[in-house]
Structure 1
């Protein structure tokens, strides 16, 4: 097992999930439920499943497409999202 990769993956996902809307939803569900253990198991299971799907799709894509193409597609996707965030006017409340 590559312990450095394990640690890097843990830190990256942990930090990216802090303050995420899924965490806010878990807080809301846990605060209104009489069964916090069920909320924990449900949210943990959902995070595990989405992480598994991401790793599976990433590994499959890496086997089908050259690495440079995957990096280029990711860069273009992030560029498009960034431009949309910058150029889209904010809605007035």
Structure 2
């Protein structure tokens, strides 16, 4: 088992999810719930499924595209999201 890759993946995802909107939604759901363990199970399974989809898509894409190109595509997507957040949402015309 590649422990370095395991801990790198864990640390990266753990730190990026802290304060994320999914964590805030989980806090809100558990605060309004009489059974927080079900909120924990539901949110854990949702994150697990989202991660599984990402791994499967990344693995299948790596069969056709070089790793360097995949990293560049991911960097462009992240940069685009960052720019959109920095520029703010456009105001709707009334």
- Give the TM bin, normalised by the shorter chain: 0.7 to 0.9
CA RMSD of aligned residues (A): 2.0
- In 1, Cα distance between equivalents of 2:76 and 2:23: 28
Change (3 A) 1:11 1:84: same
TM-score by length of 2: 0.82
Unaligned runs of 5+ in 1: none
Deviation at residue 14 of structure 1 after TM alignment: 0.3
Unaligned runs of 5+ in 2: none
Work out the number of aligned pairs and report it. Answer: 91
Runs of 4+ off more than 2 Å: 71-86, 88-92
TM-score by length of 1: 0.83
